[in-house]
Structure 1
Amino acid sequence: MATINGLERSYYCGDLRKKHVGEEVTLMGWVQRRRDHGGLIFADLRDRFGLVQVVFNPEESQEAFKKAEDLRKEYVIAITGEVIARPEGTINSDLATGEVEINVNELRVLDSAETPPLQISEECDAGEDLRLKYRYLDLRRSDMQENIVLRHNVKKAVRNYLDDYNFLEVETPMLTRSTPEGARDYLVPSRVNAGKFYALPQSPQLFKQLLMVSGMDRYYQIVRCFRDEDLRADRQPEFTQIDMEMSFVNEEDIISLVEGMMEEIFDTAGLEAPTEFQRMSYQEAMSRYGSDRPDLRFDLELVDISEVVKDAEFNVFSGTVASGGEVKGINAKGCASFSRKDMDELTDYVGIYGAKGLAWIALREDGISSPISKFLSDEELDNIIDKMDAKEGDLLLFVADKPKVVAAALGNLRQKLASRLDLIDQDEFNFVWITDFPLFDEAEGKLVSLHHPFTAPQDEDVDLLDDDPVKVKAKAYDLVLNGIEIGGGSIRIHNRDLQQKIFEILSLEEEEINDKFGFLLDAFEYGTPPHGGIAFGLDRLVMLLGGLETIRDVIAFPKTQNATCLLTEAPSKVEKSQLEELHLEIENLEIDID
């Protein structure tokens, strides 16, 4: 190890065990805490690899003891001393080094420290803004360091696994051209090409397809991507993908390879490898769970009662079915005792997702309680109860609306109820592949790609592209873990004519097609292998493996929810001369430019 100030570090703080007793060692790190016990001074010395207790005894070294009197939290020090066994009754079984301590004979203070603005411990109760402002201190905490180590180990497992399957790691450009990927691009002005802009990549999609055209056969990259979109708690403007692409493969080849990779990742993370990867079609997932990323750790399935209530006197139900909508419900087992306040809160909640109301039937000990039961016949009530497998004590919750509204409202209500009722096993990892997605979705009166415009249609549906494109299914597949999509991919289009047709169905003009995708279409003229791939959100995956609540805890220097960095205060103002070099002028004169 390196020599610092004439001392050579011989071990990390977490290395020492009883077998090292009697050895002379040199350690370096931070003072976690200091305790003065009269004739002795104790300190906990910490580095990334662990923590060990060191003892300053004036009989061992008066000079070291004197210096230790001035030690404070987070001082950076180097110590030399003898490893000794802790006295009987002082062993710390919670600490890996708890059977030993260091009897110090030399102390060097490498740097002093101000009192930290947040506690450097697992019990840190500082707010997230303070933690992000002083991220370099937050990262000293052992739990945060464990998160970064886990992230490193996952990346290492991916690289080792894909290397065994003949993948090449290839870097694709960070400065590219703007193409529609579903979110706004981050634009970078060019100084040497006045009035023109690069875009930071939302994904390496086009370049990895071009690598397949080039004959690289198997590509991967652990790549930084950028999306200028409205942020949510689990989104970042810059994020990391495990990105891969393969030639001469089908869906099953990719799914099989990924399942093996996940088993490798779990093993590396010290977790029990998944034994089952369920499969579910998009239609089934939406029908049963109201989501294409269902959390299967609990039940609370959506039940369609449209047929039961299509002729009911209750017009909210029958009228919805008559107009092409549907009526679905959830059986909240054991929740018949919910109060009026509870029901109002749940009604407000589904309203967030467009539902006009929430109907309910409570099966209480003294009979049925419901504001809608008087509009339903005894037979209809019995059929509803039977259809929903309801028993005394259950609460039946219904939404009647267009299928998309019903799915969104009940799908989210299902998740909310599971959390409230403590139905989720936090230690369970439940994988499911979602397949058979529609190729297109309808938005604002036109068709858009459900995934992206380079996804191939299923072979049996190609003939529907001309007459009924909405019915076309895609060769696409998403991997969902505990209700969170961690990866998505597809078999790609590799034929110029078919790719051109898809662009035209998406209402792209010829000029726009040639301008934005002409280089890809040209490449397809020179012999393109069938190919497909998948990309995983590394941040989300590591978050789930670590049992964490936010991806910010697995990213060394994340942004806030409004895309700012509290540490560096980015984004920041720039000097006027910089704008002039880039041939830019700020139109809003109220903006202050340095």
Structure 2
Amino acid sequence: MKKSFQQYRTHLCHELGLKDVGQKVSLCGWVQSKRDHGGLLFVDLRDREGVTQVVFHPDKDPVLFASAKQIKDEFVIKVVGVVVERPAGTKNAAIPTGEIELEAENLEILNPSLPLPFNLDESIENEELRLSFRFLDLRRKKLLNSLKLRHQVTYVVREYLTSKGFLEIETPILSKSTPEGARDFLVPSRLSPGKFYALPQAPQQYKQLLMVAGIDKYFQIARCFRDEDLRSDRQPEFTQIDIEASFVVVDDILQWVEEMIQQIFSKVLGIELSLPFARITYKQALDLYGSDKPDLRIAWQIQDVGEVFENTEFKIFREVLARGGVIKALNAKQASPVVGPTGIAELEELAKSMGAKGLAYIRIEDKEWKSPIVKFFSMEERKKLENVLGIEPADLILFSAGPWDQACQVLGKVRLQLAEMTRSVPSNEWKFVWVTDFPLFEYSPLEQKWNSVHHPFTRPCQEDIGKLDSGRYDEIRALAYDIVLNGVELGGGSIRIHEKELQEKIFSILGIDKERQKLLFGHLLKAFQYGAPPHGGIALGLDRFVMLLSGAETIRDVIAFPKNRHGVDLLTQSPSEVDFQQLKELHIKLAFPSLDSRLRQEPEIEP
């Protein structure tokens, strides 16, 4: 026997138009607003997809009209009625349903609503309040559109990678704690007292094991967890588009990612990107832009002007060059009239915060050079500088002198700050760039040891492998690559190590002895002895990518239920205290009691 049921709705609130006039339909949703116009009652009914205007007539059904007067904003209702064309002069071209309205014949209040703590149509500065009522915050169009955009991006990712032969495979969430750069979130095991799982910082080792297993091409929309300090583009749990493939070289990975991003822009935003993206080396990025994630929307480049001052009488520059340092300059074209003394002082403070002793400058006003340092320059030096930097009236020249990396990075930060001051960053451009040839290692004076720039599974450039035995670790380049969009790192990857001996050597350089290698990475080293293929991959930050595409200021606005700046979910009030019995089952005793006295006391056990 066929079951009967009462249908909630026949249409969504964005679907009705002139084609539906005369049709009897049923709509469900939230009351966005209610208006009383000369006896007629109008209700804007909203669901996820749009809004339909509903009209109640007092003379047609006084009882229904009286019921409609009781509803308030954000009540959940069901309305049955007939679609009619709006009278002339009342149509609304701003919405898809603006040519029609629904003449109500029946109203059912499915659930009332308390008055809202904030207006859904307005911008709310109090983020803590929004996060405390996230289920209401998500009703706002801006956030809803961000979640839709996120869905569309992941849909295109799955579609593209599947077309290229990749398999979507899930890897474990309860994993093993291994040193990968950030603190692990630890999960105590009840069944193995005193032992812990770790939530994965990334599926790195598992996806490499999948390559050993012969999967060949893997991807995952992967959840990752890092216990680190938060900021606008960080969350303790985040999502990455994770990709790995066997028998690949760098160009294979870069081409797949470029094509995938091209399809995302085309299908989601309707924007056609040109391929291939720009590529520069790590050294070029620092030399020209002072950053390994350069914003190419800003036209200004940093230049080396050491040769201009090789015989200078200017003591500061002469001493820097004598110590083997460099003199870098940035010509901010046409910035001089915009950046006054206050702006220069602000930039100088920024430079000092990065370890520089100051920030030399020259303001070009008409043909006059205004600066405290110009009097130390010879006419020849001024002419050379003018030719090298292409100096013109209204330019602002900024100098940084010191060790190469510091001088580059100081002007890199100054470049970004100055672009903001002068509003020199185009808002409608999408500038992608690959940064390649990163150093494999970086030395930590604090720890007095070498660390991986990316992670310990990154493969050295083939021509630099011999340097692993020479101790010249700072000269070794990695087969690693980052993709940057408008000055924001979207993701990074590398060709991986697939030989046991090479991986053990890298671990040793990082200060991980044989015993600890076996303890932490024994599973991976064992796998490499059973026919591990050459492989490589990349991970792209999905949250960060959607943040850029949507124009959001923080990744919290593209995540359904994010944590605040302190790592707290204000909606559910997590992390939270747990009762004594839960801790007892896990064999855990708190060293720093934070629970109230009721929770801290062991419950009485009846004999």
Instruction: Quickly name the TM-score band, shorter chain normalised.
Output: over 0.9
Is it true that 1:238 corresponds to 2:237 in the alignment?
yes
**After the TM superposition, which residues 197-208 of structure 1 pair with which residues of structure 2 at under 5 Å, given as runs?**
197-208=196-207
Of 458, 462, 466, 1:463 maps to: 466
Change (3 A) 1:454 1:70: same
Aligned-pair CA distance for 1:126 = 4.0
SS of the aligned residue for 1:33 comes to strand
1:484-542 per-residue CA deviation (whole Å, 9 max, x = no partner) reads 11121111111111111111121211111111111111111110111111111000111
Aligned-partner SS, 1:208: helix
Judge conservation of contact 1:118–1:124 (CA < 8 Å) in 2: no
**In the TM superposition, what whole-angstrom CA distance separates every residue of 1:357-399 from its partner, at most 9, and x where no partner exists?**
1111111137221111222222223322322111111111111
Q: Which residue of 1 aligns with 2:449?
A: 446
Displacement of 1:5 in angstroms is: 9.3
Measure the CA separation in 2 of the matches of 1:248 and 1:9. Answer: 53
Q: Distance in 2 between matches of 1:168 and 1:290?
A: 39
202-211 or 562-571, which moves further after superposition?
562-571
2:529 corresponds, among 525, 529, 540, to: 525
1:69 partner SS:
helix
Distance in 1 between the 2:248 and 2:499 partners?
A: 15
Q: Distance in 1 between matches of 2:386 and 2:568?
A: 51
Return 145-154 or 188-197, whichever deviates more.
Answer: 188-197
CA–CA distance in 2 between the matches of 1:135 and 1:310?
Answer: 61
Q: Which residue identity lines up with residue 263 of structure 1 in the other structure?
A: Q
Cα distance in 1 for partners of 2:161, 2:61 equals 54
After TM superposition, list the pairs within 5 Å mapping 1:88-487 onto structure 2: 88-121=88-121, 123-276=122-275, 277-337=277-337, 338-365=339-366, 367-444=368-445, 445-467=448-470, 468-487=472-491
Distance 2:55 2:581 in 1: 58
Q: Distance in 1 between matches of 2:160 and 2:335?
A: 47
Give the partner amino acid of 2:415. Answer: R
The 2-side partners of 1:438 and 1:44 are apart by 59
TM-score after normalising by structure 2? 0.94
Paired residues of 1:61 and 1:104 also in contact (CA < 8 A): no
Letter matched to residue 111 of structure 1:
N
* Residue deviations 1:272-301 (CA, integer Å, cap 9, x gap): 131131111111111100111111112111
Q: Distance in 2 between matches of 1:19 and 1:581?
A: 64
AA paired with 1:443?
S
Per-residue deviation at 1:149? 0.8
Question: Could you list the runs of 5+ residues in structure 2 that have no partner in the other structure?
Answer: 600-607
* Cα displacement string for residues 311-337 of structure 1 (whole angstroms, at most 9, x for unaligned residues): 323332221222222221211222323
Return the alpha-carbon distance in structure 2 between the equivalents of residues 354 and 576 of structure 1.
Answer: 50
Q: 2:544 aligns with which of 540, 544, 551?
A: 540
The answer on whether the counterparts of 1:359 and 1:398 sit within 8 Å (CA) in structure 2 is yes
Consecutive unaligned residues of structure 1, counting only runs of 5 or more, are none
Shift of the alpha carbon at 1:271?
Answer: 2.8
What aligned pairs does 1:26-41 form with structure 2 within 5 A after superposition? 26-41=26-41
Matched, 1:588 2:592: yes
Q: Residues 434 and 483 of structure 2 are in contact (CA less than 8 Å); yes or no, is this contact kept in structure 1? A: yes
- Aligned partners of 1:68 and 1:4: how far apart in 2? 28
Give the match for residue 564 of structure 2.
Answer: 560
Structural RMSD (CA): 1.7
Specify the SS of the correspondent of 1:462. helix
CA distance change for structure 1 residues 209 and 293 in 2, over 3 Å: closer, same or farther? same
TM-score (norm 1): 0.96
Whether contact under 8 Å (2:335, 2:422) holds in the other structure is no
Percent identity between the aligned chains? 48
Greater alpha carbon shift after TM alignment, 311-320 vs 195-204: 311-320
Report the Cα distance in structure 2 between the residues aligned to 1:321 and 1:133, rounded to whole angstroms: 56
Distance across 1 between alignment mates of 2:15 and 2:495:
48
Q: CA deviation at 1:169?
A: 1.1
Report the secondary structure of 1:463's partner residue: helix
Choose which of 571, 576, 579 in structure 2 pairs with 1:572.
576
Contact 2:494/2:537 (8 A) holds in 1: yes
Counterparts of 1:252 and 1:348 in 2: how far apart (Å)?
42
1:175 touches 1:199 (CA, 8 Å); kept in 2?
yes
Distance in 2 separating the partners of 1:286 and 1:148: 35
Is contact 2:41-2:57 (8 Å) kept? yes
Q: Against the structure 1 CA distance between its residues 232 and 355, is the aligned structure 2 distance closer, same or farther, given a 3 Å change threshold?
A: farther
Q: CA deviation at 1:79?
A: 0.2
Counterpart residue identity of residue 413, structure 2: N
Instruction: Report deviation, 1:344.
Output: 1.1
SS in 2 for 1:8: coil
8 Å contact 1:200–1:225 — kept in the other structure? Answer: yes
In the other structure, the counterpart of 2:602 is none
Counterpart of 1:23, as a letter, is Q
Shift, 1:402, TM fit: 2.0
The whole-number CA distance in structure 2 between the counterparts of 1:356 and 1:33 is 60
Change (3 A) 1:591 1:107: closer
Q: CA deviation at 1:7?
A: 4.5
CA distance in 1, matches of 2:94, 2:409: 46
Work out the CA distance in 1 between the residues paired with 2:95 and 2:31.
Answer: 16
Output one character per residue of 1:540-562: Cα deviation in whole Å (capped at 9) or x when no partner.
11111112221111100111122
Deviations 1:87-144 (A, max 9, x none): 11111111111111101111111111111111112x3334211111111101001221
8 A Cα contact 1:251 1:491, kept in partner: yes
- Stretch deviating more after TM superposition (310-319 or 53-62): 310-319
Question: Deviation of residue 403 (structure 1)?
Answer: 2.2
The one-letter code of the counterpart of 2:21 is V
Equivalent residue, structure 1, for 2:496: 492
Q: CA deviation at 1:254?
A: 1.1
Contact 2:458 2:479 in 1 (8 A): yes
Deviations 1:326-358 (Å, cap 9, x if unpaired)? 221211222323322221111112223222211
Q: Is the 8 A contact 2:232 2:553 kept in 1?
A: no
Q: Which amino acid aligns with 1:524?
A: F
- Kindly state the Cα deviation for residue 222 of structure 1 after the two structures are TM-superposed: 0.4
Distance 2:174 2:180 in 1: 15
Question: Once the 2 structures are TM-superposed, how far is the Cα of residue 592 of structure 1 from its aligned partner?
Answer: 4.5
Report the Cα distance in structure 2 between the residues aligned to 1:404 and 1:228, rounded to whole angstroms.
29
| Deviation string, structure 1 residues 18-46 (Cα, Å, up to 9, x no partner) | 11111111000000000011310001000
Partners of 1:14 and 1:95 in 2: CA distance: 8
1:10-89 matched pairs, under 5 angstroms:
10-89=10-89
Amino acid at match of 1:222: I
Letter aligned with residue 12 of structure 2: Y
Q: Is the 8 A contact 1:429 1:481 kept in 2?
A: yes
Question: Would the aligned equivalents of 2:166 and 2:219 in 1 still touch at CA under 8 Å?
Answer: yes
